[in-house]
Amino acid sequence: MTNPHKGRTGLDRVIRAAGYSVAGLQSAYRGESAFRQEFWLAAVLVPLAFWLGRGWVEIALLAGSVMIVLIVELLNSAIEAAIDRISFEIHDLSKRAKDIGSAAVFLSLLLCAGIWCGALWQRFSNLS
């Protein structure tokens, strides 16, 4: 059996996919306070990465680590929404899925903080 929603091709598929992506970002922004906080942090840190980074690799690491936080938060929100769609009943597997998603966000935040602290240290530790 063929999925009737998978028949689009070419430019029509790209346009619709972009629309779905924008809808997902809007949904996360409206419905997830953590995503809103991380979004505004990214709005400050990504431009700052271009000032702080001393080359394209440093800029990519700084900005990329911030984007990874947003990406992982979106995936965590998707997991939570899927679990809640199935049932609000407290279940060990539901808790496990949500806890693992939360742990992924936590690790992405630690990675981001580590990269930024290292870059700030390198940039300002030689000042006398």
Active site residues: 73
CA 119 to chain centre: 21
Closest CA to 123 of 45, 46, 50, 53: 53
Q: Give the integer Cα–Cα distance in Å for 15 and 111.
A: 33
